[in-house]
A and B are shown apart, each in its own frame.
Chain A
């Protein structure tokens, strides 16, 4: 909450700074409509923002000012100097209140009523001003006069608070530890750093060609390390997860729907999309406005919804996706949609369009009217969404940063707003894929899953010309990247392609077949020349580490080109379908696999967290129960047979009941199936819940309850044991990787206590001769292959012996 509050304060200040010039200009010329609009937006946004904080006085003041200004905008009132002064006074009071909010103190009571009264048209000026709260010094003056001295007003009308403020000012200044920088400066620094990284890669390449040069390699390594630090810092400096913005919405939706007597469920996706801080600030208002409008005007009251055959609870979805150098945020609701007729009527009434213009307008054109300044459809002005100022602010804000907003609506089905926000220069996570011998990058944010060609689950089929794959039981359209790009088909058979499942911002899922997956990592997206952008399939380019340029695919356009995007109305219906489907089907899905004894077995899909493949040396069979290390976590391992492990690799299902986890070793993972057959309880085997038929074959269904009751543990992070190595180049370059791969961390500082020390035999003898105490186990290495009798040493290139010794020490440490 504190953070939200700080945001509110900062935002209000920022807006005020921005509109300070406007205020002055408006004062000089009250008839200036553009100035009026921008001041109107300011008070409107303040009003909106304090609606969801508990600041009734702020809300009241800004609402009053908004009312007065709205009258001017609609032309029912002529702005005069008294009004200007009154509005300015209100703005000053808002500032003073915001200061008080930031300092965390109460703002002196009183004074508001006068300010609000001053906003009334001048003929109302004679009405008694204020009841009793007016301050003694000004009690005889007319409000308009008080307000004239706008610079002093804050102090005059609220003496106690201003005294407090004076006391608190220096403190706040001391607390402030951030500075504001222009964004282009950050841009320049960031693009400089990205260029530096590429220049470094180039240099590294040349150094490798020139062979080892110790005098250069050292400093070069240092440069590399520094550069990667700087790059991290710069990236973090600009980027923020959009989550920081989204996190406020559930609360906002809850409060609004309560206020309005509606029930709304909110679904938020893509919170991990990273966006420029600046951009996040830029879309904060727009999104808030859209959500407010959607709940206020879009979603019907529960009783109305039931009458229309809809679910009682309205559905509001907010999804963010990254597409190359654009981020799209889609806000859709399943409310009544936008009423075109009423929009058109309203636009006529306020004079935005003429009768003849209206006759020529397409329905889309009519929808676009809602982005015009001074437009509103709400019959009554509610406290929540206001008078249609919202959307023109939204569009203005977005267009200023080169973005766009569009709206689609179907009567009775819903409304969908799409905001496109540019990422002019950005680092995004991307996946490099290869097709027909050429590499391309795909933004990670689209990727739902990657399925390798070997997987049987894929079930690639052609229906007519369309290719389909099966993903989690659904048929998903499939597009071969080589076809989409018009490249020559590669040698790989089409059903052997690796499938990258991509989810679009609209929620549509499709598979893209590629020949191979290369790497994923952060990529610096640079814009492409206009002629290339015009192809409509690329979003930018990036350079690989070897300096080779790679094109970043524009997934949305490719999907649209191939008609994979469903149209809007079916999408909203789909969302509902998905919900009902998951409710009905939640109990009956299971993962089918072959266990170590060769039996077909199934386990409920909800328990399966991930499929892991580990090397057998991560398995520890020494204890009473087998254990294995996955991602630095030791977990119990179930499902191994008595026989020793035959291959180097082990497939595991990582199971979780939410809190505890365990690993289940399997011989082969097959596919996810629906448990449609009857479940026959099996009582003789404790770990089997039931036997069922899957495709006419009997399958044992594992009893998750029993399994976790017996074996589940809450994972603990492995503390790697520490090993101290002897000095010297050999130890550093040859021994270190080996010891690390055996699961040790290397200690270098003399103060840290190690769990194990490795010594060269000659040094060990020298130390022993000096009566050095060896507190920890010691592994001694000898130079000669032949062992000296009676001395427990290991030849320095005896890999197996060394690993065995390391393992023994580790096991002893673990049991100790």
Chain B
């Protein structure tokens, strides 16, 4: 885990990290086709080259109000179970390498964050929550049911 590359991003004002191998690319988000009656965290569809990506707002997915935070005009592209997603965040920062194993802190990170995070990693820019794509993308049924 130490030295593995991380893509750093701000989500709902907090510093988060995605494992670089999970991230396919970072794209400029063009037009988004909204999907009526889709869950709130699905912002719509956007085209990348000849592919349609599902645009997912990470802030809403975790349980925050996206309007309270700035929005990066770029998105992180990640693949999950054969579908490709464009993840929208406050800001996409740099690529760093992890300097620690992911670990937990006593008391946890709060319910919302704990659901999507596998722990805290130290990087040279400070500690960040290591996000679990599976939980972020796949775990939506849970939120939908709770809401």
Using CB atoms and an 8 Å cutoff, list the residues of chain A in contact with chain B: 194-199, 202, 438, 485-487, 526-532, 534-535, 537-538, 541-543, 547-551
| B133 on the A face (CB < 8 A) | no
Given contacts A438-B33, A486-B36, A542-B52, 6 further A-B contacts (CB under 8 A): A199-B49, A529-B54, A529-B83, A531-B39, A531-B54, A541-B45
| B contact residues around A487 at 8 Å (CB) | 36
Chain A residues near B27: list those with CB within 8 A: none
In the assembled complex, B31 has its CB within 8 A of some CB on chain A = yes
The answer to whether A527 touches B83 (Cβ under 8 A) is yes
Q: What is the CB-to-nearest-CB distance from B35 to chain A, in angstroms, rounded to a whole number?
A: 6
B residues near A537, Cβ cutoff 8 Å: 36-37
Knowing A438-B33, A529-B83 are in contact, say whether A548-B38 is a contact too (CB < 8 A).
no
- Closest chain A residue to B83 by CB distance? A529
Interface range, B side: 20 to 34
- Interfacial chain B residues near A526, Cβ < 8 Å: 51-52
- Complex: how many Å from CA A538 to CA B44? 13
Closest residue of chain B to A547 (Cβ to Cβ) is B47
Query: Which of these, B31, B46, B85, B141, contacts A529 with CB under 8 Å?
Result: B85
- Determine the chain B residues whose CB is within 8 A of the CB of A530 once the complex forms: 81, 83
Measured between beta carbons, the chain A residues less than 8 angstroms from B56 are 531
Q: 10 A-B residue contacts at CB 8 Å? A: A194-B50, A195-B49, A199-B49, A528-B83, A531-B56, A531-B137, A534-B39, A535-B38, A549-B52, A551-B45
Chain B residues numbered 84-102 whose CB sits less than 8 Å from any CB in chain A: 85
B42 at the A/B interface (Cβ < 8 Å)? yes
Query: Are B33 and A549 in contact, CB atoms less than 8 angstroms apart?
Result: yes
B47 adjacent to A195 (CB under 8 Å): no
Pairwise interchain contact A548-B33, C-beta atoms closer than 8 A? yes
| CB neighbours of B31 from chain A (8 A) | 548
B34 at the interface (CB under 8 A from A): yes
Q: Is the CB of A543 within 8 A of B50?
A: yes
Task: Give residues of chain B (25-71) contacting chain A, Cβ–Cβ below 8 Å.
Answer: 31, 33-39, 41-42, 45-47, 49-52, 54, 56
**CB–CB B36/A532 < 8 A:** no
B37 near A202 with CB under 8 A, answer no
Question: In the docked arrangement, what's the CA distance between A194 and B51, Å?
Answer: 10
CA distance A695 to B142 in the complex (A): 60
By a CB distance below 8 angstroms, the chain A residues around B137 are: 531
- In the bound complex, what is the Cα–Cα distance between A445 and B31 (angstroms)? 29
**Contact across chains for A195 and B50 when beta carbons are under 8 A apart:** yes
Bound form: Cα–Cα A650–B22 in Å: 61
Q: Which residues of B contact A (CB under 8 A)?
A: 31, 33-39, 41-42, 45-47, 49-52, 54, 56, 81, 83, 85, 137, 140-141
Considering only CB atoms, which chain B residue lies closest to A538 in the complex?
B35
Residues B52 and A532 in contact, CB atoms below 8 Å apart: no
Docked-complex contact A531 and B140, CB < 8 angstroms: yes
Q: Are A543 and B47 in contact (CB under 8 A)?
A: yes
Q: Across the interface, do B83 and A551 meet the contact criterion of CB distance under 8 Å?
A: no
Residue among B39, B41, B50, B85 with the most chain A CB within 10 A? Answer: B50
User: In this complex, which of B45, B47, B49, B52 has the most chain A Cβ atoms within 10 angstroms of its Cβ?
Assistant: B52
Residue of B with least CB distance to A436: B36
Is there an interface contact between A532 and B50, defined as CB atoms closer than 8 Å? no
Most buried by B among A197, A531, A541: A531
B47 engages A549 (CB within 8 Å): yes
Contact among A529, A538, A548 for B47, CB-based, below 8 A: A548
A543 to chain B, nearest CB (A): 6
CB <8 Å contact, B42 and A532: yes
Least Cβ distance of A477 to chain B in Å?
Answer: 20
Nearest residue (CB) in B for A191 is B50
A531's partner among B33, B38, B49, B52 (CB-CB below 8 A) is B38
Q: Which residues of B contact A438 (CB under 8 A)?
A: 33-34, 36
Tell me how far the C-beta of A260 lies from the nearest C-beta in chain B, rounded to whole angstroms. 48
Among A487, A529, A532, A547, the most chain B Cβ lie within 10 Å of the Cβ of A529
Nearest residue, chain A, Cβ from B140: A531
Tell me the nearest residue of chain B to A201, going by C-beta: B50
* B50-A202 in contact (CB<8A): yes
B37 to chain A, nearest CB (A): 5
Tell me how far the C-beta of B100 lies from the nearest C-beta in chain A, rounded to whole angstroms.
33
- Asked whether, in the complex, the Cβ of B45 is within 8 Å of the Cβ of A549, the reply is yes
| Complex: A27 Cα to B65 Cα, angstroms | 66
Residue numbers in A under 8 Å from B50 (CB-CB): 194-199, 202, 543, 547
Once the chains are docked, how many angstroms separate the CA of A196 from the CA of B42? Answer: 28
> Which residues of chain B are within 8 angstroms of A550 by Cβ–Cβ distance?
33
Question: In the complex, which residues of chain A have a beta carbon less than 8 angstroms from the beta carbon of B41?
Answer: 531
Tell me which of B46, B54, B140, B141 has the highest count of chain A C-beta atoms within 10 A of its own C-beta.
B54
Give me the 7 closest cross-chain CB pairs, A-B, nearest first.
A198-B50, A485-B36, A549-B45, A529-B54, A549-B52, A195-B50, A529-B83
Q: Are B42 and A531 in contact (CB under 8 A)?
A: yes
Chain B residues closer than 8 Å to A197, beta-carbon distance: 50
Find the B residue at minimum CB distance from A195. B50
Q: How far is the CA of A438 from the CA of B34 in the complex (A)?
A: 8
Complex-state Cα separation, A196 to B56, whole angstroms:
26
Q: Are B37 and A485 in contact (CB under 8 A)?
A: yes
Determine if B38 and A532 form an interchain contact, defined as CB atoms under 8 angstroms apart: yes
Contacts of A547 in B (CB 8 A): 47, 50
Contacts of A535 in B (CB 8 A): 35, 37-39
Interface centre among A194, A196, A551 (most CB of B within 10 A): A551
Q: Which residues in A have their C-beta under 8 angstroms from that of B39?
A: 531, 534-535
What residues of chain B lie closer than 8 Å to A538, measured between beta carbons?
A: 35
Given A530-B83, A550-B33, A198 and B49 contact (CB-CB distance below 8 Å): yes
Neighbouring A residues of B141 by C-beta, 8 Å: 531, 534
CB distance from B123 to the nearest CB of A (A): 30
User: Distance in Å from the Cβ of A590 to the closest Cβ of chain B?
Assistant: 42
Q: What chain B residues lie within 8 Å of A529 (beta carbons)?
A: 42, 54, 83, 85
Question: Closest chain A residue to B46 by CB distance?
Answer: A549
Minimal beta-carbon separation of B31 from chain A (angstroms): 6
Chain B residues contacting A531 (CB-CB under 8 Å) are 38-39, 41-42, 54, 56, 137, 140-141
A196 cross-chain contacts in B, Cβ below 8 A: 50
Residue numbers in A under 8 Å from B34 (CB-CB): 438
| Interchain nearest-CB distance for B29 vs A (Å) | 12
Bound CA–CA A542/B47 (angstroms) = 10
Report the bound CA distance from A541 to B55 in whole Å. 13
How many whole Å from A545's CB to the nearest CB in chain B? 11
- On whether the beta carbons of A532 and B33 are closer than 8 Å, the reply is no
- Nearest-neighbour CB distance to chain A for B56, whole angstroms, equals 8
Q: How far is the CA of A548 from the CA of B46 in the complex (A)?
A: 7
Bound-complex Cα distance A549 to B35 (A): 10
A671, chain B: closest CB distance, angstroms: 34
Residues on A with C-beta less than 8 A from B81 are 530
A485, A532, A537, A538 interface centre (most CB from chain B within 10 Å): A532
Once the chains bind, are A528 and B54 in contact (CB under 8 Å)?
yes
**Hey, which chain B residues are within 8 Å of A527, CB to CB?**
83
Tell me whether B140 and A541 are in contact (CB under 8 A).
no
Q: How far is the CA of A429 from the CA of B94 in the complex (A)?
A: 45
Between B35, B49, B140, the greatest number of chain A beta carbons within 10 A of the residue's beta carbon is seen for B35
Smallest beta-carbon distance A549→chain B, Å:
4
Residue numbers in A under 8 Å from B47 (CB-CB): 543, 547-549
User: Which of B37, B52, B85 is close to A486, meaning CB atoms less than 8 Å apart?
Assistant: B37
Q: How far does the Cβ of A343 sit from chain B's closest Cβ, in whole Å?
A: 36
A422: shortest Cβ distance to chain B, in Å? 15
A321 to chain B, nearest CB (A): 23
C-alpha spacing A537/B81, complex, angstroms: 21
A431 shortest CB reach to chain B, Å: 17
B42 → chain A closest CB, angstroms: 6
Q: Within the assembled complex, what's the spacing in Å between the Cα atoms of A199 and B31?
A: 17
Option from A202, A486, A532, A549 in Cβ contact (under 8 Å) with B49:
A202
Contacts of B35 in A (CB 8 A): 532, 535, 538, 551
The interface residues of chain B lying within 8 Å CB-to-CB of A194 are 50
How far is A527 from B50 in the complex, measured between Cα atoms in Å? 14
Shortest beta-carbon distance, B44 to chain A, in Å?
8
- Complex-state Cα separation, A768 to B114, whole angstroms: 91
Q: How far is the CB of B95 from chain A (nearest CB, A)?
A: 26
CA distance A538 to B34 in the complex (A): 13
